[in-house]
Amino acid sequence: MEDAIKLPDVCETMADVRAGVDATDRALMELLDLRFGYMRAAARIKADREAVRDEGRKAEVINNARTDAEERGLPASELADIWDQLVECSIAYELHRWDSTRRD
């Protein structure tokens, strides 16, 4: 049976750290799966393909991530760049889903 994952402040070995990172990566993937589920819902709900790309909403999401990162003392600019890529990937995914559900 797998040992319990230790929180960062109580890690004693690199094995502890690596186990925590791996578990966190799996949890992030689960959250991304949920996020992309919302993209599938958006593709189903939006009647107009042009509504998929919303630059105002994109800027809002990235700014929210930047602000949250700043408040947590994380590298805000770099995380905003990651969020920009995440949003672009999400838009591409949503466009694909939108198109695939409306084929003749």
What is d(CA 12, CA 53) in angstroms, rounded to the nearest whole number? 46
When pLDDT is averaged across residues 78-86 and rounded to a whole number, the result is: 98
Residue numbers in the known binding site are 18, 35, 46, 94
Could you say which DSSP state residue 101 is in?
T
Q: Do the Cβ atoms of 11 and 24 come closer than 8 Å?
A: no
- How do residues 42-69 score in pLDDT, each as one tens digit? 999 999 999 999 999 999 999 999 999 9
Residue 104 has pLDDT above 80, yes or no: no
Q: What is the largest CA-CA distance in the chain?
A: 59
What is d(CA 76, CA 82) in angstroms, rounded to the nearest whole number? 10
State percent of the chain over pLDDT 70.
96
Among 28, 30, 29, 8, which Cα is nearest to 18's? 8
Banded model confidence at residue 1, pLDDT cuts 50, 70, 90: very low
Task: Identify the structural domains of the chain with CATH numbers, from first to last.
Answer: 8-100 (1.20.59.10)
- In the prediction, which pLDDT does 4 show? 87
Q: Do the Cβ atoms of 35 and 89 come closer than 8 Å?
A: no
Residue numbers in the known binding site for substrate are 18, 35, 46, 94
